Amino acid sequence: MVNLENLQPPPVKNKDGKVITTEKEQSERWRQHSQEVLNRPEPEEPAEPTPSEITLDIDTGPPTAGEVKDAILAMKSKKAPGIDMIQAEMLKADPQLSSSVLTEFFRKVWEGEEIPEDWSEGIIVKLPKKGD
């Protein structure tokens, strides 16, 4: 087992490849990197997909208890929980009960057409590449 206390994060480098040592400079470099990677300009020509000639039979109703149960059973075990700290094993312990509770909750969200604020939160974890 790896002792996480002794692990040092990889060095953060500026665009010239020089190691940044201060936390403030590293934070600024991560901000710049995120801006460059995530904030792309709008395309000059917007996408205009052609309408499909085929009518698809898609159920746009709230998820059913069976669908929720299938999703619970398909979840991978032994994975880190999300921000809610609910592990897949907890839901899989009694998939019938879990799916009935979650189905009712999802139905209320679906009919209310308002996504809970907590669903917009997430955890971002830096995963260093090998080498630099």
Q: Is residue 43 part of a domain?
A: no
Query: Tens-digit pLDDT profile for the chain (132 aa)?
Result: 556 666 666 788 888 889 988 889 888 998 888 888 888 888 899 889 998 899 889 899 999 999 999 999 999 999 988 888 899 999 999 999 999 999 999 999 999 999 988 888 887 777 777 766
Is there a domain that residue 16 lies in?
yes
Contact (Cβ atoms closer than 8 angstroms) between residue 132 and residue 10 = yes
pTM for this model (two decimals): 0.55
The encoded tokens of residue 2 equal 């790896």
Q: Is residue 28 included in any domain, yes or no?
A: yes
In a domain, residue 52? The reply is no
Maximum CA extent, the chain: 59
Write out the residue range of the structural domain in which residue 17 sits: 11-38
Domain count of the chain?
Answer: 1
- Which of 75, 70, 73, 65 is CA-nearest to residue 101? 65
- Domain-located, residue 31: yes
Q: What is the CA radius of gyration of the chain?
A: 22
Residue at 22 is within a domain:
yes
CA dist 20 and 25 (Å) reads 6
- Does some domain include residue 18? yes
